[in-house]
Amino acid sequence: MLHFPSWGQHGKLKEITLTSKILGKGQFGTVHYSHCKNDERDVYAIKVIDRKRINGEKDLHNLQNEILIMSEINSDYVVKLKDATKTSNFYYLAMELCNGGDLENYKKIRGGFLKEKEARLILRQIMQGIAAIKEKDVMHRDLKLPNVMLHFEEMTHLSAIDNPQVLKEYISHFDFKNLHQTLKCKIADLGFARKLGEDELAKTGCGTPLLMAPEVLGGQHYNHKADVWSIGCLFYELITGFMPFTGISHANLRENLKKGLFKIPKTVQLSLQGLSFM
């Protein structure tokens, strides 16, 4: 365990215990289950970033940008950044802990796809998160199922973290119809996010190709509408289990996007409202 006697510029967290329990891994580091030294009920997910993996000004700018943007957004539907600090070897980002894993894992455990009503209620929360991000003139630019975290209010933090099988069983037996109000969906990973005014355009291509809007994948200028495209792709993926557009290469994917043709399996029961949204 590591202890940080002085944490961040705001001094919100005096002593934090960084445990060896790893919640996830990324390109630049790992996310650890952590708690206040004097109160183990006060828990956090701390992203530990190895400074040696920050290659050049661009990576450093992206990290600083992520911290700045997360610190400005205060929404129940976006993972909150509690504080941040650094040492000579690492950066530490203390974020709120979500006990339910990500939406990709949830979909998989629930059978690979969701019923429309369940998908629509989940999507409503995602759209509220995107609205909060947009309110700060920010584009997410990498909206996908693994970047949506879940939190079950009636499940303890440690039960699922200590034993992944507990989380799997909880999700598989989750009574969504009667308990959906206890499930919170929170947008995470703003590493590709950037500020963009109403009349501005961006051109840097980033994100996940299969979820990119045509203008992004095609290297054209784009705006906040690119996130709206990704929301539509998420809805399609939730109710069918696969992406609306695919390709064996970037060129082939771009061609399929231009055609704009996608199919809804006959096994999927979709309302007129759902079809219209799609």
Per DSSP, the three-state class of 181 is helix
Assigned architecture for domain 103-277: Orthogonal Bundle (1.10)
Share of the chain above pLDDT 70, in %: 94
Q: Is residue 123 scored above 80 in pLDDT?
A: yes
pLDDT of amino acid 158 = 65
CATH 1.10.510.10 domain position(s) in the chain: 103-277
Write out the two tokens for 211: 């979820």
Task: Supply angle C-alpha 253, 262, 207, rounded to 5.
Answer: 40
Q: Which of 13-22, 63-72, 179-188 bottoms out in mean pLDDT, i.e. has the lowest?
A: 13-22
Q: Say which residues have a Cβ less than 8 Å from residue 198's Cβ, sequence separation at least 6.
A: 137
Instruction: Scan for tokens 């840097």, then name that residue.
Output: 204
- The more confident residue out of 194 and 210 is 194
Provide the phi-psi class of 272: left if phi over 0, else alpha when psi is between -120 and 50, else beta.
alpha
pLDDT, mean over the chain: 86
Residue 216: CB atoms within 10 A of its CB come to: 22
Distance CA 70, CA 131 (A): 14
The CATH number of domain 12-95, selected from 3.40.1390.30, 3.30.200.20, 3.10.105.10, 3.40.50.80: 3.30.200.20
How far is residue 191's CA from residue 139's CA, in Å, rounded to a whole number? Answer: 11
Supply the angle between the helices 116-135 and 225-240 in degrees, to the nearest 10: 160
Q: Is 142 a catalytic residue?
A: yes
Q: Which of 83, 102, 142, 189 is catalytic?
A: 142
Integer angstrom CA distances of residue 106 from 18, 57, 110, 170, 277: 26, 36, 6, 10, 23
| Cα dihedral sign, 262-267-268-271 | positive
Residue 29 pairs in a beta bridge with 49
CA 168 to chain centre: 19
Whether the per-residue pLDDT at 10 is higher than 60: the answer is no
Q: pTM (2 decimals)? A: 0.89
Residues of the chain with CATH 3.30.200.20: 12-95
